[in-house]
Amino acid sequence: MTLLIDRRVINGSKIDGKLADDMTKAGLDRIRSCIQCGTCTGSCPAGRRTAYRTRQLIRKALLGLREEVLSDPNLWLCSTCGTCTERCPRKIDVTEAILYLRNLSCQAGYMRPEHQGVSHKLIETGHAVPIDDPKWSKMREELGLDPLPPTVHSYPKAVKEIQHIIKQTGFDKLVNYKESKKDGKT
Amino acid sequence: MVKHRYSFFLGCVIPNRLPQIEAATRLIAPKLDIELVEMKGASCCPAPGVIKSFDKDTWLSITARNLAIAEENGLDILVLCNGCYGTLIAGVHDLKDPVTLKRINKILKGTGHQFQGKITAKHLVEVLYNDIGKEAIEETVVNPIDARFAIHIGCHLLKPSDIRPWGVVEDFTLVDELVEALGGTIVDYKLKDMCCGAGGGLRSAELEVSLDMVREKLEAMKQAKIDAMVNVCNFCHLQFDLGQMQANKHFGTDYQIPVLYYTQLLGLAQGFTPKQMGLDKHYISVAPFLEKIGMSV
Ligand code: SF4
Ligand code: SF4
């Protein structure tokens, strides 16, 4: 008898059961109760216009398709709107799960150059969106404000404090900070 | 006499890209007996869609430092951005766990700051609606604004709802009411609750998807025949204003919907000039709206 549907055979060597365990340890234990209802996908403004499918991502993560999940560019299409989390009938914090998978994706070396750029700005100035052109200070002055806000921009010591934190957590290495400086890449 | 004091959290986009929102907020505050105390040396919140996506501990540690600066002021935070609000309130929540707090404070050692969990963060809407009150705001209105408005609330003001003070996640009317208090008429539109598309790192790395989302909202607003849209988040504001211009270019559309942050509208109602509210600094011209209410840039 021939089957009328194609079977997708998931190769055993691709499966990493530890992924679901890791998610459980990170406080995302409810993910194991996913019933694949698709409410998350149905709520998703990003999925409505792209190939990104939230339900599928959760399923793949549960199956332990680590490499496939972490290298999938669709993982970066979520706008973190939180609608799926509000609507999931199993009360799974889907948005937090996506953020967690993104953390793992970065650790595995999949990081967009734009996102590295934002991170480098944070490391250098303490602002992910800094005053990097005098026109912004001029605009502030036209509005009767000081040319620099009373943030890290006015306190060099505060920038050092941010850099201290970043050294402690290893964020500089994660986002390839030193290295990128050396070979001139951003 | 000053009745309401807050640590004023600016974040990145307001002081460094949209200072008109900072200027407007600093001008309207004294009229409502609000004192904005500076958070000296505060940094990026850091942004929940990007930095939290990359490394949660880095995100939480830098958040904790910002919270500690407010705590050193002895004052709860007033925050104008939904994203910053999302970060700060999630930070307050996560740091209630003593093990996490200890771990993060250890990372903060050497910065001179430690967070003790004594303060929280309030969004502008919470401060205006709960602490000041609609009536007190109405009393400051000298120039009622008679126009039709679409409201964009923004995701992180409401979600995740379990760590928000509202008790609702849909049919949220507080911003509508605050605009009505200034004389405005609220026009309902399709997809009012939808995301603007700026968050999650989309504006930085997936601009086309991001702009396609705001385009969908702009189309719905256009069909509702409004005079302007009002928002309560500077990142949504940037997406609707600069993003509208980019979407027009990208998709060949010609949306011309004036975009106002709530404190800019409040300032106009309180008698400040459009220039003081920085309305001459927008990407999409605010002139048609001003004309409708008998003003000019
Ligand atoms: S809404 Fe919840 S239960 Fe349904 S598929 Fe998505 S994660 Fe699974
Ligand atoms: S949080 Fe992300 S995955 Fe969930 S509905 Fe919003 S965009 Fe989609």
Q: Are B263 and B237 in contact (CB under 8 A)?
A: no
When pLDDT is cut at 50, 70 and 90, the band that residue B188 belongs to is: very high
**Predicted local distance difference test score (pLDDT) of residue B89:** 98
pLDDT tens, B25-74?
999 999 999 999 999 999 999 999 999 999 999 999 999 999 999 999 99
- What is the rounded average pLDDT for all residues in chain A? 92
The yes-or-no verdict on residue A180 having pLDDT over 60 is no
pLDDT tens, B275-293?
999 999 999 999 999 999 9
Residues B153, B268, single domain; the answer is yes
The yes-or-no verdict on residue B197 having pLDDT over 80 is yes
Residue A136 is part of which domain span?
113-174
Could you say which DSSP state residue B157 is in? H
CA-based torsion, A136, A140, A141, A145: positive or negative? negative
Q: Where are the alpha helices (DSSP H) in chain A?
A: 18-23, 39-43, 54-63, 66-70, 83-87, 94-107, 113-125, 134-142, 156-169, 171-174, 177-182
> Is A107's C-beta closer than 6 angstroms to any atom of ligand 2?
no
**Predicted local distance difference test score (pLDDT) of residue A182:** 46
Residues A48, A100, single domain; the answer is yes
Candidates B44, B65, B196, partner chain A, best to mutate (most A CBs within 10 A): B44
Candidates B56, B58, B60, B263, partner chain A, best to mutate (most A CBs within 10 A): B58
Domain boundary among A50, A80, A107: A107
**Predicted local distance difference test score (pLDDT) of residue A2:** 61
Q: In b/e form, how buried is each residue of B130-156, taking b as 16+ CB within 10 angstroms? A: ebbeeeebeebbebebebebbbbbbbb
Given an 8 Å threshold on Cβ–Cβ distance, is A151 in contact with B43?
yes
**Predicted local distance difference test score (pLDDT) of residue B25:** 98
CA distance A46 to A108: 24
Q: Which residues of B touch A140 (CB under 8 A)?
A: 15, 19, 22
pLDDT tens, B73-104?
999 999 999 999 999 999 999 999 999 999 99
Residue B218 lies in a domain: yes
Mean pLDDT of A35-59: 97
Given an 8 Å threshold on Cβ–Cβ distance, is B62 in contact with A118?
no
Please give the structure tokens belonging to residue B171: 């049919």
> Is A69's C-beta closer than 6 angstroms to any atom of ligand 2?
no
**Predicted local distance difference test score (pLDDT) of residue B66:** 98
Residues A81, A61, single domain; the answer is yes
How far apart are the CA of A12 and the nearest CA of chain B, in angstroms? Answer: 29
When pLDDT is cut at 50, 70 and 90, the band that residue A183 belongs to is: very low
Residue B297 lies in a domain: no
Lowest-confidence segment of A25-34, A121-130, A174-183 by average pLDDT = A174-183
How far apart are the CA of A86 and the nearest CA of chain B, in angstroms? Answer: 7
Residue B277 is part of which domain span?
142-292
Q: Using alpha carbons, select from B229, B184, B237, B200 the residue that is nearest to residue B22.
A: B237
**Predicted local distance difference test score (pLDDT) of residue A51:** 95
The residue of chain B nearest to residue A171, with distances taken between CA atoms, is B58
Residue A157 lies in a domain: yes
Please give the structure tokens belonging to residue A89: 């009938």
* Phi-psi category of residue B242: left, alpha or beta, with phi > 0 → left and psi -120 to 50 → alpha: alpha
Residues B119, B152, single domain; the answer is no
The closest CB to that of B278, out of A83, A143, A174, belongs to: A143
User: How far apart, in Å, are the Cα atoms of A126 and each of A15, A112, B139?
Assistant: 40, 20, 40
> Is A57's C-beta closer than 6 angstroms to any atom of ligand 1?
no
The closest CB to that of A128, out of B12, B197, B210, belongs to: B12
Residue B81 main-chain phi, psi, to 5 deg:
-110, 135
Given an 8 Å threshold on Cβ–Cβ distance, is B46 in contact with A122?
yes
- A82 CA: nearest ligand 2 atom: 1
Mean pLDDT of B8-17: 98
User: Whose alpha carbon is nearest atom 5 of ligand 1?
Assistant: A36
Given an 8 Å threshold on Cβ–Cβ distance, is A112 in contact with B201?
yes
Q: What is the pTM of this model?
A: 0.95
Q: Using alpha carbons, select from A28, A86, A123 the residue that is nearest to residue B156.
A: A86
Mean pLDDT of B239-245: 98
The residue of chain B nearest to residue A97, with distances taken between CA atoms, is B53
Count of domains for chain A: 2
Mean pLDDT of A157-181: 91
> Is A82's C-beta closer than 6 angstroms to any atom of ligand 2?
yes
Name the percent of chain B lying above pLDDT 70: 100
Report the CATH number that the domain containing residue A92 is assigned in CATH: 1.10.1060.10
The yes-or-no verdict on residue B127 having pLDDT over 80 is yes
Q: Where are the alpha helices (DSSP H) in B45-133?
A: 51-54, 56-73, 82-94, 98-108, 124-126
Residue B38 main-chain phi, psi, to 5 deg:
-65, 145
pLDDT tens, A101-112?
999 999 999 999
Residues B9, B97, single domain; the answer is yes
pLDDT tens, B139-182?
999 999 999 999 999 999 999 999 999 999 999 999 999 999 99
Domain boundary among A107, A129, A146: A107
Candidates B55, B65, B105, B250, partner chain A, best to mutate (most A CBs within 10 A): B55
Transcribe B229-250 into DSSP letters.
EEES-HHHHHHHHHHHHHHHHH
Model ipTM?
0.95
Residues B110, B160, single domain; the answer is no
Residues A126, A160, single domain; the answer is yes
Residues A88, A33, single domain; the answer is yes
Name the percent of chain B lying above pLDDT 90: 98
**Predicted local distance difference test score (pLDDT) of residue A5:** 72
**Predicted local distance difference test score (pLDDT) of residue A3:** 62
Q: Using alpha carbons, select from A149, A89, A93 the residue that is nearest to residue A125.
A: A149
Given an 8 Å threshold on Cβ–Cβ distance, is A49 in contact with B213?
yes
The residue of chain A nearest to residue B191, with distances taken between CA atoms, is A45
User: How far apart, in Å, are the Cα atoms of A98 and each of A57, A104, B95, B193, B236?
Assistant: 9, 10, 21, 21, 22
**Predicted local distance difference test score (pLDDT) of residue A184:** 42
- A58 CA: nearest ligand 1 atom: 7
In this structure, how many other beta carbons lie within 10 angstroms of the beta carbon of residue A110? 15
Residues B147, B81, single domain; the answer is no
> Ligand 1 pocket check: which of A28, A36, A56, A87 to mutate, most ligand atoms within 8 Å of Cβ?
A36
Mean pLDDT of B6-14: 98
How far apart are the CA of A183 and the nearest CA of chain B, in angstroms? Answer: 22
Mean pLDDT of A178-182: 55
Residues B174, B212, single domain; the answer is yes
Residue B235 lies in a domain: yes
pLDDT tens, A19-32?
999 999 999 999 99
How far apart are the CA of A132 and the nearest CA of chain B, in angstroms? Answer: 9
- What is the rounded average pLDDT for all residues in chain B? 97
